[in-house]
Structure 1
Amino acid sequence: MPTSIITTDDLRDFKLELLDDINQLLAQHATVKLKKYLKSSEVMDMLQVSPGTLQNLRVNGTLPYTKVGGILYYDAEEIQSVMTANRVQNKIH
């Protein structure tokens, strides 16, 4: 079985190719648009909350929603706005 020697130039080329591939994947992912409206299960997964917590967020008016035919929909942009508005900045002394 023949052996091949890997040089530092080979490793540098591999690194550059790998970085190009990663950048292409990130660019593709960035162009994927999030859905405009999310169902309750998607919001629970996104926020990592239970059904009861999601209900509390609806009842106390924290998360706006739309009910169509018994299905609750949440605007993805409004969820992001709520998260941004309630962000807590830690002050380090």
Structure 2
Amino acid sequence: MAIEVITREDLNEFRSLLLNDLKEIIQSKPQQVKQWLKSNEVRKLLNISSGTLQNLRVNGTLTYTKIGGIMYYNHSDIDKVLNGNKSK
């Protein structure tokens, strides 16, 4: 039975190769953004209260789709609202 000795240099080389491979994997995959967000996700994203989100719905600032009592918001609509309210 043969015994193979692994040195610190071997481990450091393995670590470097592994980190480089992981970096390549992370950089090659574009970050996917969910198209439809639920109310709690929108509140967390915008850091607003449920009352503020309701006001955005009521006054027509932010459109939504309601299915089975759950409200969904299109991510691109949220981007439009944010970009439309930029200050100079």
TM-score (norm 1): 0.65
Match runs of 1:10-89 below 5 Å:
24=24, 27-28=27-28, 31-89=30-88
Taking the aligned partners of 1:45 and 1:61, their CA distance within structure 2 comes to: 20
Taking the aligned partners of 1:25 and 1:46, their CA distance within structure 2 comes to: 26
Taking the aligned partners of 1:25 and 1:88, their CA distance within structure 2 comes to: 37
Question: Deviation at 1:25?
Answer: 7.2
CA RMSD, Structure 1 to Structure 2 (Å): 2.1
Identity across aligned pairs (percent)? 48
TM-score (norm 2): 0.69
Q: Which amino acid aligns with 2:76?
A: E
Q: Count how many residue pairs are aligned between Structure 1 and Structure 2.
A: 70
Taking the aligned partners of 1:26 and 1:87, their CA distance within structure 2 comes to: 31
Q: Which runs of 5+ in 1 are unaligned?
A: 1-17
Question: Deviation at 1:24?
Answer: 4.2
Taking the aligned partners of 1:41 and 1:25, their CA distance within structure 2 comes to: 30
- 1:15-39 CA distance string (max 9 Å, x none): xxx8x78x6476256x021111000
Secondary structure of the residue aligned to 1:62 is: coil
Taking the aligned partners of 1:55 and 1:70, their CA distance within structure 2 comes to: 14
Corresponding residue number in structure 2 for 1:8: none
